[in-house]
Structure 1
Amino acid sequence: MRLLQFRRPEGGRAVGIVESATRVRVLAGCDTTHSLATRAIGHDVPVARLARELAGAEFVDYEALVESQAVLVPMDHPDPAHLLVSASGLTHLGSERTREQLRRALEADEAKLSDSLRLFKLGLDTGRAEDGQPGAPPEWHFKGTGHSLVHPWQDFPVAGFATDASEEPELAGIYLIGADRMPHRVGFALANELSDHAMERRNSGWASRAKLLASSFGPELLLGELPSHIEGLSRITRKGRRRWEKPFFTGERNMAHSIPNIEFHHFKHDQFLVPGDVHVHYFGTATVSFAEGIKVDAACTFEISAPPFGRPLVNGLRRVDPAFSFGGVRAA
């Protein structure tokens, strides 16, 4: 089952079950995915089961929602400050060619390995939770709160100080913290973790700062089990013409770290167990256009797709001035 969250013409919100590429069945008495998941967790029933029970007689046209830019990220929070966006990196094995390059690099003298390759090797060796015991922690970075999210079919705002702003096609886990402080995985979605790769390449110590750009996920929320092997497509178009495209591989068969291991090392931190909070965590990627010398600009559009997730995630770019001209911190 896949869910879609959208805005109604009069300004209200709604959630629906995606029945086809053109038809969405609206849930009755439930206007947000957050409220749906909260009710399901409170009644100790699966979210998919409650969604089926609330499926009503109203249908909406999916294409009309897209054209009117009414589609929202498939789960958010009434207070964006209570939605935390984070990510793990160095988690994916990549294509066969990439794996062979990594194998040769890892066979070199370990003293010559970069910090990133050391961390990747640690994930390969011990990155899976087994027999109830966690494996090695993955790389982790913070993206922002719900204020940093961009809805599907809308543009990423890119500040003038960014030296690059290009895609990272990823898988996202979406979580809600229950009243008992237990994390509940609501579902999975496609994601685009926009990053400043030029800054990251200049100095690996700036990697976490390079991640502080906007991101998007969706448009649909996949409930239930995740396939172990997912082959998607990351595409960039410019003024309607294909600029670049490449398959990407995700799912646990294509990952050095298992998803339970990534989840353990995120939610072991007490500050991430606040009841009612939403967490969106990106699981990483091994495919980015920047690595192949592709330069993007405001005329480019990103499209990330994979069969289990329904429609592709589409976002554009727009350069923006900073919210204010920073001249220092003012004493209050």
Structure 2
Amino acid sequence: MRQARLLQYCGQDGERRVILAQGDKAHFVAQAATTRDLAATAAKQGQTLLALAQANLSDEEADIETLYAEGRLLTAIDHPDSARILLTGTGLTHLGSAEGRDKMHRQLSEAEQLTDSMRMFQEGLEGGKPAAGQFGQQPEWFYKGDGQSLVGPREPLTSPHFAQDGSEEPELAGIYMIGDDGQPCRLGIVLANEFSDHVTERHNYLWLAHSKLRPASLGAELLLGEPPSDIRGTSRILRDGQCIWEKPFLTGEDNMSHTIANLEAHHFKYAAFRRPGDIHVHFFGTATLSFSDEVRTQPGDLFEIGAEPFTLPLRNELQQEAASWQELRIL
């Protein structure tokens, strides 16, 4: 049976509700307007999200595919104060992910000389899966933005006017809430498109930080419990209704050089990331990029990412913003 998932619904009148999908059935959860509210209650009561949702399940069924098509399903998590959502991620975490990065970063050098990216990948292979309760090799880490950068599963991904590229990164993201006691709690995982500027990154790996300050799309389904260790999906790009690129992608710990627990430990070891009430969206990385296959996207392209055990895909059109920078004021 497909794992349980939580979804967030918004009606035409702005009414917010939570949906619990189990197997092929989905029902609205009574007395729960948002997933964040439900998680806060679960933390205070010492329950799991799944147990609390099941205890408050209504008889009202929800057709999540129809609601998705109607644009009534939101990102799997949000916050009324977007500044209380922190978007971060890790790279070079998947088996095979170093090859594409190494091609992007390699400059004129002797063939046997390893790039910083390849060295970091090898260190992850050697020490990224420590025994439970121990720190392993720390991964590459990046900051992506706050909740203003979150995009829904059917909303456009808008590239800034100064960007040199706007390309997809199909992956998983962990969703976390920091409890009142400062304890990080994993709520679940979501399907994500960690949209990036790979031309900027390729120029110099020290520009990775710039390349990541972009929006990101999150799926509607929050997968509860421990995620499967082997997740397989498909990433494609449509242009004028025609598929111009398609490739399978692998994720989950069986296909990674780090455990999820190790990535989490190295993120939350910093006290600044354990502020009560904050929400964290942490992207776990990917090994599959259309950019590595010399695909160059353009406005109007449609990114489509889908993977079991999720039911609903991400479908995000690439858009380009007009210049938005205004002259700095001196007060």
| TM-score interval, smaller chain | over 0.9
Task: Between 58-67 and 111-120, report the one with greater CA deviation.
Answer: 58-67
**Distance between the aligned counterparts of 2:96 and 2:116, measured in 1?**
19
**Distance between the aligned counterparts of 2:220 and 2:7, measured in 1?**
7
| Structure 2 stretches lacking a partner, 5+ long | none
| Structure 1 stretches lacking a partner, 5+ long | none
Give me the TM-score of the superposition, normalised by structure 1.
0.92
Q: Which residue of 2 aligns with 1:170?
A: 171
Task: Measure how far apart 1:54 and its partner are.
Answer: 1.3
Q: Which residue of 2 aligns with 1:275?
A: 276
Confirm or deny: 8 A CA contact 2:87 2:147 kept in the other structure.
yes
Confirm or deny: 8 A CA contact 1:16 1:24 kept in the other structure.
yes
Asked if 1:292 corresponds to 2:293, the answer is yes
- The letter for the 2-side match of 1:288 is L
Q: Which residue of 1 aligns with 2:41?
A: 39
Match of 1:10 among 6, 10, 13: 13
Q: Which residue of 2 aligns with 1:78?
A: 80
Q: How does 1:51-66 map to 2 (within 5 A)?
A: 51-66=53-68
Q: How does 1:177-192 map to 2 (within 5 A)?
A: 177-192=178-193
Q: How does 1:74-153 map to 2 (within 5 A)?
A: 74-94=76-96, 112-153=113-154
Match of 2:142, SS?
A: strand
Confirm or deny: 8 A CA contact 1:129 1:260 kept in the other structure.
no
Say how many residue pairs are matched: 323
Task: Between 9-18 and 180-189, report the one with greater CA deviation.
Answer: 9-18
Confirm or deny: 8 A CA contact 1:94 1:248 kept in the other structure.
no
Task: Measure how far apart 1:131 and its partner are.
Answer: 4.6
Match of 1:26, SS?
A: strand
In structure 2, relative to structure 1, the CA distance for the partners of 1:118 and 1:170 (3 Å cut) is same
In structure 2, relative to structure 1, the CA distance for the partners of 1:60 and 1:114 (3 Å cut) is same
In structure 2, relative to structure 1, the CA distance for the partners of 1:231 and 1:67 (3 Å cut) is closer
- The letter for the 2-side match of 1:11 is G
Task: Measure how far apart 1:67 and its partner are.
Answer: 3.0
- The letter for the 2-side match of 1:278 is I
Q: Which residue of 2 aligns with 1:331?
A: 330
Q: Which residue of 2 aligns with 1:224?
A: 225
**Distance between the aligned counterparts of 2:21 and 2:300, measured in 1?**
30
* Superposed structure 1 runs of 4+ greater than 4 Å apart: none
**Distance between the aligned counterparts of 2:175 and 2:111, measured in 1?**
36
Task: Output one character per residue of 1:215-273: Cα deviation in whole Å (capped at 9) or x when no partner.
Answer: 01112110011111111111111122111111111111111111111000000000000
Task: Measure how far apart 1:314 and its partner are.
Answer: 1.6
Match of 2:29 among 16, 20, 27: 27
- The letter for the 1-side match of 2:8 is Q
- The letter for the 1-side match of 2:135 is P
**Distance between the aligned counterparts of 2:17 and 2:264, measured in 1?**
29
Confirm or deny: 8 A CA contact 2:91 2:140 kept in the other structure.
yes
Confirm or deny: 8 A CA contact 2:153 2:313 kept in the other structure.
no
Task: Measure how far apart 1:59 and its partner are.
Answer: 2.4
**Distance between the aligned counterparts of 1:223 and 1:204, measured in 2?**
35
Q: How does 1:248-267 map to 2 (within 5 A)?
A: 248-267=249-268
- The letter for the 2-side match of 1:218 is G
Match of 1:41, SS?
A: helix
**Distance between the aligned counterparts of 1:325 and 1:92, measured in 2?**
36
Backbone CA RMSD of aligned residues: 2.2
Give me the TM-score of the superposition, normalised by structure 2.
0.92
Task: Measure how far apart 1:110 and its partner are.
Answer: 10
Match of 1:40, SS?
A: helix
**Distance between the aligned counterparts of 1:301 and 1:93, measured in 2?**
27
- The letter for the 1-side match of 2:203 is R
**Distance between the aligned counterparts of 1:238 and 1:6, measured in 2?**
29
Confirm or deny: 8 A CA contact 2:235 2:306 kept in the other structure.
yes
